[in-house]
């Protein structure tokens, strides 16, 4: 009995010790000081302070109004911004090595596969995820790449965690759809624009009927393809349609009017030719990488597209997109920088990869700006974030310092 009592006491002692040495990130209290703090919810703050407690933003303000409590871990930077957001990527499905074993972004067995979920392929440990994090990107809307008529569902993740469950913010956010010449020739059908639209229209018609039956309890929910497209018809998921030419953008707008599903345009190389129509439809645009190669359907792309759409009050965001060559991803910080230098301006460009992107993705209640109660996702820089030589001084995600250069 004495031995049992001693063992029990030792166990309690060890438990107490284990609790005492838990990492500070479990309930971190952090203060971030910046010479300039861009909250994206009002004017920039000179000599600003962001207080973080238990993974959330506790308070934001100027240093002469916000006192840093004792015990807070202090980080300093020249410029502080919300964590940056990549509004369209294939990172985590397309890997760094560009080999068959790490390329899951496009399934070519069928041109229409809405039932495919990005979360079933996402590799949270992929090197490119960490690569983006080290550039200040804390949230990524990623999933199946363009090329199929419907290539699958997208998801939103934080650039942290070792599993998809740890990284996941929201699953099944949008359906990746491609129209026009962007549809891969790996498929035997479609071969033309008309066939692409006919295939989409047929699926949407079937889904409308399925949605009615589902509402009346006549289905058992085992038809995965119909379930997902019925969710699109019912407005539970958004169509993200990859189109570049004005011809294809116009077709996408007409299809959306016909069926009334929620939609975001992706790519939009010639979107500046249809700004009135896009604005009237109240459709956001996730603009192609600003520095993409001009050619084919993108031959008329422009560095000024972002500024033109922004000035027309069309919601925009930037994307890293999909690259068919290594290193398989771009960095939205640099893509936005080119747009900033071509009419968009620094703060508007920053808005487009923070609060603007969060609004389009429907996660602005959690990320995109530095406000009390939101996720403590912060990027720290030693200068203008859009200057090429500027270095990231630190990255915080959910109140945890996940990157700090040596």
Q: Which tens digit of pLDDT belongs to each residue from 333-370?
A: 999 999 999 999 999 999 999 999 999 999 999 999 99
What pTM does this model have?
Answer: 0.93
The residue to which tokens 């290193």 are assigned: 327
Q: What is the pLDDT of residues 80-90, one digit of tens each?
A: 999 999 999 99
b/e code 189-199 from CB counts within 10 Å (16+ = b)? ebeebeebbeb
Q: What is the mean pLDDT of the chain?
A: 93
pLDDT value of residue 159: 98
Domains of the chain in start order, with CATH, are 26-82+372-403 (2.30.40.10), 84-361 (3.20.20.140)
Q: How many CA atoms lie within 13 A of 372 on its CB side?
A: 4
Residue among 315, 325, 329 at smallest CA distance from 279: 315
Residue 325 confidence (pLDDT)? 76
Instruction: Please give the average per-residue pLDDT across 304-314, as a whole number.
Output: 98
| Opening angle at CA 41, ends 172 and 365, nearest 5 | 25
């Amino acid at each position: 009995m004495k031995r049992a009592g001693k063992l029990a006491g030792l166990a309690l002692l060890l438990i107490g010790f284990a609790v005492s040495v838990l990492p500070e990130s479990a309930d971190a209290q952090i203060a971030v000081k910046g010479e300039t703090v861009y909250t994206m919810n009002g004017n920039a703050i000179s000599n600003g302070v962001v207080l973080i407690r238990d993974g959330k933003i506790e308070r934001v303000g100027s240093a002469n109004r916000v006192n840093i409590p004792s015990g807070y871990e202090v980080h300093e930077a020249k410029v502080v911004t919300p964590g940056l957001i990549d509004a369209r990527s294939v990172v985590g499905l397309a890997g760094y090595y560009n080999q068959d074993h790490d390329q899951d972004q496009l399934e070519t067995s069928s041109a229409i596969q809405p039932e495919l979920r990005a979360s079933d392929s996402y590799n949270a440990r992929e090197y490119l995820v960490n690569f983006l994090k080290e550039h200040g990107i804390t949230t990524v809307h990623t999933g199946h790449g363009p090329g199929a008529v419907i290539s699958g569902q997208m998801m939103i993740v934080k650039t942290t965690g070792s599993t998809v469950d740890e990284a996941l913010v929201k699953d099944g956010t949008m359906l990746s759809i491609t129209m026009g010449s962007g549809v891969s020739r790996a498929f035997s059908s479609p071969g033309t624009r008309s066939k692409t639209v006919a295939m989409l229209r047929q699926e949407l018609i079937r889904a409308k009927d399925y949605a009615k039956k589902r509402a009346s309890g006549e289905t058992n929910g085992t038809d995965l393809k119909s379930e997902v497209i019925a969710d699109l018809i019912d407005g539970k998921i958004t169509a993200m349609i990859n189109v570049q030419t004005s011809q294809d953008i116009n077709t996408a707008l007409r299809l959306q009017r016909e069926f009334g599903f929620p939609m975001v345009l992706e790519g939009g190389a010639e979107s500046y030719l249809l700004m009135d129509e896009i604005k009237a439809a109240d459709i956001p645009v996730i603009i192609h990488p600003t520095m993409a190669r001009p050619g084919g359907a993108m031959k008329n792309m422009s560095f000024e597209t972002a500024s033109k759409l922004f000035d027309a009050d069309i919601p925009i965001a930037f994307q890293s997109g999909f690259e068919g060559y290594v290193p398989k991803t771009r960095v939205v910080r640099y893509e936005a920088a080119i747009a900033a230098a071509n009419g968009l301006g620094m703060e508007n460009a920053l808005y487009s990869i923070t609060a603007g992107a969060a609004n389009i993705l429907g996660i602005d209640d959690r990320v995109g700006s530095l406000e009390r109660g939101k996720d403590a996702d912060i990027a720290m820089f030693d200068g203008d974030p859009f200057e090429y030589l500027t270095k990231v001084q630190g990255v915080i995600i959910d109140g945890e310092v996940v990157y700090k250069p040596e």
